[in-house]
Structure 1
Amino acid sequence: MARTVIIEEHGGPEVLKIVDRPVGEPGPGQVRIAHKVCGLNFIDVYQRSGLYPLQMPAAMGMEAAGVIEAVGEGVTHLKVGDRAAYAAMPPGSYCEARVMPAAQVCPLPEGISFEQGAAMMLKGMTVEYLFHRTTPLKAGDTVLFHAAAGGVGLIACQWARSEGITLIGTAGTDDKCQLALDHGAAHCINYRDGDWVAKVRELTGGKGVDVVMDAVGADTFKGSLDSLKPLGMMISFGNASGPVAPFGLAELASRGSLKITRPTLFTHIAKHEDCQAMAKHLFDKVLSGDVTIRIDQRFPLDQVADAQRALEARQTTGSTVLEL
């Protein structure tokens, strides 16, 4: 049996429950992993609230790190006793142990702790696909990145610096802006201080940025389009402030033949070989020192509701983990 966080209906943090669930043995293509630390992400909130509906009852969580306890038939990249980490479907990482598909579970290098592993997989592989698999980016390009002091944002600031890309961040307080600057953002705008779009234009000499990476959603969408240079790319990859309202495609034309995409991590990691390659790229960035995984909040598993409340209220910086 393993303590597991579930929901039986969509709603606020109060619907999160901890129950004992049988774990069982892995079947073909599966592993059983005993978790050491679990990660917290905004997608967990979307699933709990019903923005991304789940079939009930549903186990929660998408990211964790631990030790492989058993390996099913056909699994060759992991063995019993291996340290491992993952960000993967289906949900269910908020638990002591689970049986799950092995394809997206990645061997965790010795130089990376379980805590770092649990805090970096979903966020770090998201940054990997944003910078390397969504639209061509090269040294000298300029990116606008919203929520630059969050878990994804701080990794993105460092990643951009390591690639010679100029990252303009936004955040909601001066302290958060300073955090983004300390982690490699070239500039950071406190969007509560006035017209952040005008400031982006000023910082780019009136041209606008090559790419916007926006996980905030409704509150920043129009301003993000207005921050792009002609032929620029809008990457909308999250909905922290709510989903983006429908809009006419002609708006892209009127702003200079803009491009737009709405990617997800789980499309990018669907193939085993792609997932493992993305994870290796991320691990190499961390092991080289180009990227440091900052963990600013730690909650015990039984305080998972408080952890999600803090995340929703934008009271967090860096990554948040759940300790077992």
Structure 2
Amino acid sequence: MSSEITYATQKKNHAFAPVKGTNTTLDIVFFRQGTFVVVPKSANQKKLIEKVQSIISGTAVQAQGPYWDISATTMAIHKAIASTHKTTISTIHIPTPEVEPGTVLIQVHYASMVAFDTYITDLGLGVAEYPVVLGLNASGFIKAAGEGVTHLRGGDRATAFSIYSGGRKDASQGKGAMQEYILLPAYLCAKIPDALPLVAAATIPDNFITSFYTLFDLLGLSFPFSAFISETSAAAAENDTETPILVYGAGTTTGQYTLQLLRLAGYTNVVATASPAHHAVLLLALGAKHVFDYRSPALTQDILSAAPNGIQIAVDAVSASATLARIAPVLSAQDPSKVAVLLPIKTGDSVANGAAGMAWEVADPSSLGFPPSAELINVRTFAYTKNTLLRDVLMPKLLPALLSATPALIEPNRVRLLDSTVGTLEERALQLGSSFSGTTKSAERKSWLRVGPSSLCAPNESPSNPAQVSECKGNVP
């Protein structure tokens, strides 16, 4: 389901009224700072569309009814892909923001949709008000850098992480990666080398940050910052690098980054679960010492053969009630253990069952078979900025250093290219979103969907090329 949306200005909250000269009702959605979205209830009426479009061209449209008035707006606007109601994805026009101190304005070439976006569109998960601009990751060119920004400047190639916070209230504030321009705090953005295609760069931020925050903050493992940048490490426990670490769902996008970061940190005894037929060679190359089939009835015995004393540190990159139950019997019975789970927790055994229910915690881990000494750690990636070291170092300094090394020390996920020429932007976005429905989200590949009318940026990238949108199949940060 979709509908074309355009901008107008008005004064009061959500209301319904007819536009003068038509008999069609418009749904007026309130935005702060006087910016509103107009949703035609009968989008096939040419006369109505012309009237709505006249707002964008600067011609005032007078409205009947006591609730609201529409007036002309001449502000700069651009396209975005948003969830405008539950189960509805639409193209909207939103104001193009101006750069502020400590921020950067990015002209987006690629933006990624992850499974979390489908929880917004299908379930209304975490939505405070509509519309909600979708997307967590963006890549493109820095259009402008605000006062105080030192690691980025106009014209730089960059990738960025658009945190989902506060339900993404007020789409006019530029939140959400799936738009032509995005304004973000500079600490959420990283400069990328010329050799890295923008299409690949859009797959990195959420997976990189989720993995790093999980391992080296919440689980307390040590990371050698000084080996890559001139920063001192945050206080962390000194773990034996031979300690067996379980990555359940290592074939997922975040699972692959978890393996790579453990390898960079020197951890050598990493036990991975995945589909060996599809992922074994790749996961061994990324840093796994063992790869076991998650579907095997002997999975518990397989893992314990590699970790005879049990697992003390585990990451569940699938994060479902059934996967946690499979991890429980391999946890150490003698020593305390920690299991990190990426929220929200899905029912069943994969994110394909997400519509059946979501949970933000497990009230009683023992109900899943966890031993009393086991600690279940809930990972809320968007809270990583509370750690000021990670906020100021991960994207501004560490990620650029890892990507610019020769060879690069972080490998983006594999990709597949969606058809970039068929259908409108909105139709392609709907196709992109529907690709998450009814399938298991263990894919290691990411896909791209073009926003603009021209060909894809790569390999001839330039700031004048149109914005583009990508799909990121994987788990939820």
Q: Normalising by structure 2, what TM-score?
A: 0.60
Matched with 1:317 is: 444
**Deviation by residue 1:81-107 (Cα, 9 ceiling, x = unmatched):** 222221132441012222333342233
What stretches of structure 2 of length at least 5 have no aligned partner? 1-76, 165-174, 222-238, 346-350, 451-467, 469-477
Kindly indicate whether residue 401 of structure 2 is the aligned counterpart of residue 284 of structure 1: yes
CA distance in 1, matches of 2:156, 2:180: 16
C-alpha spacing 1:274/1:191, structure 2 compared with 1 (3 Å): closer
Verify the 8 A CA contact 1:88 1:266 in the aligned structure 2.
no
Which 5+ residue runs of structure 1 have no aligned equivalent? none
Q: Which residue of 1 aligns with 2:297?
A: 194
Corresponding residue for residue 384 of structure 2: 268
Q: Does 1:304 align with 2:429?
A: yes
String of CA shifts for 1:22-65, please: whole Å, max 9, x gaps.
Answer: 32423444332101221232322333332333421110011111
Residue 25 of structure 2 corresponds to: none
- Greater alpha carbon shift after TM alignment, 41-50 vs 51-60: 41-50
1:235 correspondence with 2:330? no
1:251-283 Cα distance to aligned partner (Å, 9 max, x none): 699715112211222211356753341123333
Report the 3-state secondary structure (helix = DSSP H, G, I; strand = E; otherwise coil) of the residue aligned with 2:373. coil
Query: Which one is further off, 118-127 or 192-201?
Result: 192-201
Q: Tell me what 2:200 maps to.
A: 116
1-structure distance, mates of 2:220, 2:386 = 21
Q: Distance in 1 between matches of 2:145 and 2:376?
A: 41
Match of 2:254 among 152, 157, 161: 152
Q: How many residues align?
A: 320
Q: Which amino acid aligns with 1:290?
A: L
User: Once superposed, what is the RMSD of the aligned Cα atoms?
Assistant: 2.9
Higher helix share: 1
TM-score (norm 1): 0.85
The higher relative CO (CA closer than 8 Å, separation ≥ 6) is in 1
Distance 2:214 2:111 in 1: 23
Query: Equivalent residues in 2 for 1:1-324 (5 A)?
Result: 1-11=77-87, 15-48=88-121, 49-90=123-164, 91-137=175-221, 138=239, 139-162=241-264, 163-172=266-275, 174-205=277-308, 207-216=309-318, 217-229=320-332, 230-238=335-343, 239=345, 240=351, 241-242=353-354, 243-244=358-359, 246-248=362-364, 255-270=371-386, 274-279=390-395, 280-288=397-405, 289-299=408-418, 300=420, 302=426, 303-311=428-436, 313-314=439-440, 316-323=443-450, 324=468
User: What are the Cα deviations for residues 113-164 of structure 1, in whole angstroms up to 9, with x where unaligned?
Assistant: 3223211111112222222222233411222112211221222222323323
- Code of the aligned partner of 2:214: L
Distance 1:252 1:278 in 2: 34
Deviations 1:186-243 (A, max 9, x none): 22222223242332223212x2222111132222112223222130101011333543
Offset at residue 297 of structure 1 (A): 2.5
**Shift in Å, 1:5:** 0.7
Mapped to 2, the partners of 1:274 and 1:246 lie a distance apart of 27
1:77 deviates by 4.1
SS of equivalent to 1:79: coil
CA distance in 2, matches of 1:273, 1:113: 28
Structure 1 range deviating more: 178-187 or 231-240: 178-187
CA distance in 1, matches of 2:409, 2:340: 24
